[in-house]
Structure 1
Amino acid sequence: MRERLIVAFLALALGIIALYGVPRIIMVADLVHASENQYADRMAGMVAAVIDDRDEPVDEAFLASLLTEGESVEYRPADGDAVRAGSTPVGNDITRSSDVSAGGAVAFTRSGEVVAERVTTAIAPVIVIGIGLLVVSAVVAVLLARSLSRPFLRIVETVRQIGRGNLQPSPEPLRIPEAKAIDAALRDSAATLERRIRREHEFAANASHQLRTPITALRLELEDLSLWPETAPAVREQLDHAVREIDRLADAISQLLEFARGGTPGSGTFEPLHDSLRAAASRWNAQAGASGRRIRVSASGSALGDAPAAASQILDVLLHNAIAHGRGDITVSGERRSEYVTVQVADQGPRPSGNQIFQRRPEQRSATSGEGIGLALSAELAESLGGHLLLEGAPTTTFSLILPAR
């Protein structure tokens, strides 16, 4: 902005100087030429008058005494040879003639170099004034640009503070009305954003608290039920499985709460990736089998290493998406590549067009179904873990989860 203001101001000043200076220079040059022409006319008449009054013969020495530097004169009598004094005329000299009463004529010449020197001397002040005005304009342009851009630079710093999380930046004294309006709008937006974030955090904390209480009560009831002597071993096994799933649900709620607060859930907890893939497939085998489909796990065991524990949440979303929207059998595979591990969840259904499935579009979803949020949330969770969730370009639906491995 500052550079553009300086350039604009200098361009305006240069245009004004040119509009004033160029016509002025032309006018001064024309006045000098007119003055020189009048001088040559007067000198020609004066020399002719002096020759008329002279009784002695006109010679070169007499004519030379009437001249100054850069002048020449030629006397052409009615009878006899012409007499000349001074420099030889060239093409750009000014020459004027005058008749002598006794007969003959006088040609007076003013050197073009002398005329050009007088023109230069006359227009030099105009040029000096123009250069001085341009220098002054440059200084004023720099000072004015700094003065005009300073409030907007303060607004930029305010925006940076808001971007760093300070939604109540310190007030800045601004004098330009437009800058004041922009600053006020930014602070209003920051205040609105702060209120919304606070409400979301409060909602997340309240929801987490309200969910944990019944979940804890349900877990205790299931544990108590599994300890009854009347409980059959098969039922006890299912109850233990339900307790583990409730623990996973509690962990998921804690991770979502941490994610809502801007943290990275599960980033410090690692677990064997091969076990996570097997456990995820086991959890969803029943739903897949109900629709006549299978989940196959293709992984290289311990070679995969460990991955963040929160990856199991992403695997659940991908498997649920494959069961709900895909076709045919589902394949879960993992591959270790240097410091990263890639997990692919593929089915035989056609690939969705574009990557809009990773975008939150609540206006296209019902308010209670929750559809359309899982993949977007999984993509955000993968990025918070230092990885990435993408949709491969294969003809069939294939999701790749890339995560840092330990």
Structure 2
Amino acid sequence: MRRRLIQSTLAVVLVVIAVFGVSLVIVETRTISNSAQERVELEAARLASIVDSRLLGAGNVDAEVLKNQVSGDRYAVIRIPGEKAIEVGTKPPTDDVIEGEAKGEEGETVVVQEPRSSVTREVGRTLLIIGLVALLAVIAAVLLAIRQANKLASPLTDLAETAERLGSGDPRPRHKRYSVPELDRVADVLDSSAERIARMLTAERRLAADASHQLRTPLTALSMRLEEITLTDDPDTVKEEATIALTQVERLTDVVERLLTNSRDPRTGSAVTFDLDEVIQQQLAEWRPAYRGVGRAIVSSGKRHLQAVGTPGAVAQVLAALIENSLMHGGGTVALRTRVTGNQAVIEVTDEGPGVPADLGARIFERAISGRNSTGIGLAVARDLAEADGGRLEMLQAQPAVFGLFLSRTPVRKSAGASEPTVR
């Protein structure tokens, strides 16, 4: 591209120089020739006036008197009636001369000649000057073309590299501009695309991490149920374990659907009115074997038969995250307590462990923040799930740790013209 830009610019300059240069040469040649013709005619007129003045003054007119009146390499012939012609200067060796003639008042004729070679030399000098100017113009044009080519080609190379980086999975925007509106527009579009791709990749990675974290515990529990089925021959036990396994499969399906929904729009919910006791008892039944295995207990207390607004599957996932967090980081008995505050139902999850370290504080809900070598995304996902249904998840106390899940008790109603449910 650089070569084409340089060649096209140079071609335009050469055409302009050719058109105007030839015209200038023709005009200058004619001007110089006309000037030379005028000079010899003026010289002849001047000599004629000198001869007239001497003839009128009864002076002598001869070559000795007039030799200093003829300048340069000019040749003059003065013809006076009745006298011999007077020659002044050196006669040109060729007939190629510029000639000027003048007549005096006493009837004399003065002819002045100048070799055309002098005109040729002057034309040559003029052509040399024009040629040097044209050469300088070509050099300046080449330098300008190289600069412009670099100014246009380098940004295009950068933009091509940016597009290649996007295609190879590196979505970092470059935020580089080139002071060329068209190229800057392309750079803006590429940077916007890079930011969108980065958000999409982040969402995909987040979805994968959330899915891995949220599905790990249900899959482990389901595996344990299936192992129980394979180790027993009692039809009633098989039926009971299979029923529990099917319930867990339904929960797994709900987990996947919630994760996919939240990955597209974290504020999208399918809140309904449900009984908190059912969700809490289901979580107690699921987690008791795990707590029993480490010599700990999990219990529930507080107000019974509370109705709350939310998605039962999402609430179950939030409670599962809090219970698992207490299992990994807490100690002693884990208690789930329900209470009412204003128009909200609250589920508190607490244990008898050391609590949340002071250096974590409010950052406990940030992704990748963990008190131990865990993923650090469980509480972040739980808070997202709670907020998707119009609730909220907070740490009410650090030592011992107390987490509260706040859910509205008012049924969901759609505002006129609204496309999403609003919790009032």
Name the TM-score class by shorter chain: 0.3 to 0.5
TM-score by length of 1: 0.45
Which one has the largest radius of gyration?
Answer: 2
